[in-house]
Amino acid sequence: MRSTKAISAVERLKTRTGNANYAAIAMPGGFFYLAERSAEGSKKLSEPMPLDDFVAFVNAREPAKPRKVSKLDIAMEEQIGRSGKHTAKRDE
């Protein structure tokens, strides 16, 4: 069950990067490391680490997918920006 969390993190990494060759390798004692498989063999990309550290490492490996922004989000940010400018003028 614990390995599901590690595998999910690697699956998200594969999706973000478009590289399907990443793999989570489980070791005795609940340790995991990240590897990249290729025709030449596996390349170890990290040292063995506990599950939570491994997931944090994998999540930080590549930038996250850009957040989708709706028209309403843009309008709200503009409204917040305008209200901040009006407040600054009153203080002067």
pLDDT at 84: 72
pTM higher than 0.75 for the full model?
no
Q: Average pLDDT of each block of 10 consecutive residues along the chain (92 residues)?
A: 83 89 92 92 92 92 75 87 63 50
Long-range own/partner contacts, residues 22-28 (CB < 8 A, 24 or more apart): 24/54, 24/58
User: Number of C-alpha atoms within 13 angstroms, CB side, residue 92?
Assistant: 5
Per-residue confidence (pLDDT) for residue 85, from 0 to 100: 61
Predicted local confidence at residue 2, as pLDDT = 66
User: Could you give the domains of the chain?
Assistant: 2-66 (3.30.160)
Name the token pair of 11.
Answer: 């699956």
